[in-house]
């Protein structure tokens, strides 16, 4: 009798879900659980470096919703880049998407979506300097001239290795906000800032640190493709596939450029990137898989026309 009861229980456990599905009205299915995208929170209340990038991610997820279903984006606690990479490699779930430049180690250990999120605008670096030293830069005409200055960067940033491998002197700081005060206090000559970042950073701090300004004639350029990264797991691959498909749809239908210029167009114009002198250095961390051949993915201020007005309202 007990064996018969157990057999009936097992049969019901198998059959009941199938019966429920058959009884659902045509076209109705169980709702799929949303795909969760967990990213590092900003480092401080003044840290707006990644607002654009998460908007690109959100739009890519919207573009792929019909195929992949619902999603949620959740900030974790703030993590340094080193901590983010650790959590991603271990696939702990505390973080499952990050935005970071490519390195051989990351290419080996994680899954990238090889579409530069900011179209490599971050590779065009301008100088945040002390206001009373603007004249020091008027005589710069060669890369060797730039090697006479010291550059402030965050501890562990990939830019440190790029600059030092090209013979530039770097001073590091362990705190992002603290680097602005290190510059003001003369710890280094230049806080090297990406064109996508410097105006927001300066506008946020110019009243608190009035001795700073943006140098007005030079660019230090190196290719720095910044990708979205995912854990090397089955779910991580599915997330990467979804984001890649969504981003390619954005490129094809023009959404990518509209968002890019909505956030970045005014910055490109205000910094007059096209008329600055550009000094180029190499990025030794790039591999052969870098998608240089697809010109749609790379902004070039000497080539690309910037719309006269932002095509979308800047958030």
| Average pLDDT, integer, range 268-286 | 95
DSSP-derived secondary structure letter, 24: S
User: 284-297: b or e for each residue (b if 16 or more CB lie within 10 Å)?
Assistant: ebbeeebeeeeeeb
pLDDT 10s digits, 249-275 = 999 999 999 999 999 999 999 999 999
Asked whether the predicted pLDDT for residue 100 surpasses 60, the reply is yes
Domains, the chain, ranges and CATH? 35-120+224-272+282-297 (3.40.190.10), 122-221 (3.40.190.10)
* pLDDT attached to residue 20: 41
Q: Categorise residue 119: left if φ over 0, alpha if ψ from -120 to 50, beta otherwise.
A: left
Asked whether the predicted pLDDT for residue 26 surpasses 50, the reply is yes
How far apart are the C-alpha atoms of 139 and 133, rounded to whole Å? 12
β-strand 35-39 against 71-75: which pairing, if any? parallel
* pLDDT attached to residue 180: 97
Nearest to 46 by CA among 216, 180, 187, 188: 180
* pLDDT attached to residue 42: 87
pTM metric for this prediction: 0.81
Asked whether the predicted pLDDT for residue 129 surpasses 70, the reply is yes
**Cα separations (Å) of 198 from 135, 192, 235?**
20, 9, 35
H or E element, residue 297: none
pLDDT 10s digits, 143-182 = 999 999 999 999 989 999 999 999 999 999 999 999 999 9
Asked whether the predicted pLDDT for residue 3 surpasses 60, the reply is no
Angle made by CA atoms 130, 132, 137, in degrees to the nearest 5: 75
């Amino acid at each position: 009798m007990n064996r018969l009861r157990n057999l009936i229980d097992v049969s019901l456990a198998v059959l009941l879900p199938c019966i429920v599905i058959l009884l659902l009205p045509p076209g109705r299915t169980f709702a799929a659980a949303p795909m969760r995208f967990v990213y590092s929170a900003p480092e401080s209340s003044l840290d707006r470096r990644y607002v654009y990038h998460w908007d690109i991610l959100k739009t890519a997820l919207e573009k792929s919703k019909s195929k992949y279903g619902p999603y949620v984006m959740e900030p974790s606690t703030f993590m340094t880049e080193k901590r983010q990479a650790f959590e991603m490699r271990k696939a702990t779930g505390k973080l499952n998407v990050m935005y970071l430049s490519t390195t051989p180690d990351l290419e080996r250990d994680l899954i990238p979506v090889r579409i530069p999120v900011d179209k490599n605008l971050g590779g065009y670096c301008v100088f945040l300097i002390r206001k009373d030293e603007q004249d020091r830069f008027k005589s710069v005409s060669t890369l060797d001239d730039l090697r006479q200055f010291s550059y402030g960067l965050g501890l562990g940033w990939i830019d440190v290795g790029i600059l030092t491998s090209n013979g530039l002197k770097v001073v590091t700081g362990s705190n992002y906000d603290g680097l602005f005060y290190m510059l003001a206090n003369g710890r280094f000559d230049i806080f090297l800032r990406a064109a996508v970042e410097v105006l927001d950073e300066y506008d946020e701090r110019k009243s608190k640190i009035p001795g700073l300004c943006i140098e007005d004639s030079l660019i230090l350029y190196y290719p720095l493709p910044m990708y979205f990264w995912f854990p090397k797991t089955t779910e991580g691959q599915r997330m990467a596939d979804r984001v890649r498909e969504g981003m390619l749809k954005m490129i094809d239908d023009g959404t990518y450029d509209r968002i890019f210029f909505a956030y970045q167009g005014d910055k490109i114009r205000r910094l007059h990137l096209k008329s600055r002198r550009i000094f180029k250095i190499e990025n030794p961390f790039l591999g052969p898989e870098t998608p240089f051949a697809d010109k749609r993915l790379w902004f070039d201020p000497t080539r690309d026309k910037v719309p006269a007005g932002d095509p979308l309202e800047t958030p």
